[in-house]
Amino acid sequence: MGIKERRERERSETRERILDAARELFASTGYEGVGMREIAAKIEYSPTAIYAHFANKEELFHEICYADFRKLAHSFRDIAATPDPLDRIRRAGEAYIEFGINHPNHYRLMFMTHHPFDKSACPCDLPEKGNPEEDAYAFIKLAVADAIRAGVFREEINDVELLAQTLWAAVHGIVALEISRRNDHWVDWRPIKLRARFMLDSLLPALLKSKE
């Protein structure tokens, strides 16, 4: 490996360390409570070193959001070719829950932390809204629309947005409770995978058209 390649690798590794530290601080402290000095201190860097990678906190924050939302959407890639739309919805729900469990800091920042997200302030290319390959919500909407067209659901269930948002709320509840309350010994928690499977097994059949 040449000097140029080694420097690029080191720069990339440093950038990832900054993103990881900032993500954790934003998720635990809140956007307003974190400054570049706190991020630098967490990884024992000088603020000047942070500014060599990101112009300000806003740019750093938007870079995290860009990367994390795209990472979630990409977790659905292998599911896209599933021909049965109901099976696609189930598998997407499982993938969403797995993403949240495996990346709690990502998830907490994306969906459980209040922050001002102004896409006009983002210097990077954001995931394309409405593109199911980059937009996880668009992926779910497409699967729901396919299932409705296939006549899978009860006749009165025909609002794509309503059903997609309801399904999202269901899987979000599973993940949010696991992240925020898993160490709460007041509740005798069942294993997360068991809870997730039981929720999907209970919710999806209740939406289906009756077989007479």
pLDDT, tens digit (0-9, with 9 covering 90-100), for 32-62? 888 999 999 999 999 888 999 999 988 898 8
Strand partners, 153: 208
Q: What is the mean pLDDT of each run of 10 residues along the chain (212 residues)?
A: 80 91 89 91 91 90 87 91 96 96 91 70 64 90 96 96 97 96 92 96 94 68
What is the torsion angle, in degrees rounded to the nearest 10, for the CA atoms of residue 173, residue 30, residue 99 and residue 175?
Answer: -20
Q: What DSSP letter does each residue of 11-80 carry, written as one string?
A: HHHHHHHHHHHHHHHHHHH-STT--HHHHHHHTT--HHHHHTT-SSHHHHHHHHHHHHHHHHHHTTGGGT
Instruction: Collect all residues with Cβ–Cβ distance below 8 Å to 182 and sequence separation of at least 6.
Output: 189, 192
Q: Which two tokens stand for residue 208?
A: 């289906």
Domains of the chain: 1-54 (1.10.10.60), 64-207 (1.10.357.10)
Enter the pTM of the model: 0.84
Q: What is the pLDDT of residue 117?
A: 57
Compute CA distances 37 → 20, 32, 40, 88, 122, whole Å: 15, 13, 5, 44, 21
Element (H, E) at 151: none
Q: What is the pLDDT of residue 30?
A: 83
CB distance 29 to 57 below 8 Å: no
Q: Which two tokens stand for residue 30?
A: 């809140």
Q: What is the pLDDT of residue 192?
A: 95
SS3 content of the chain, % helix, strand, coil (to 5): 65, 0, 35
Strand partners, 80: none
Q: What is the pLDDT of residue 115?
A: 67
Instruction: Collect all residues with Cβ–Cβ distance below 8 Å to 180 and sequence separation of at least 6.
Output: 112
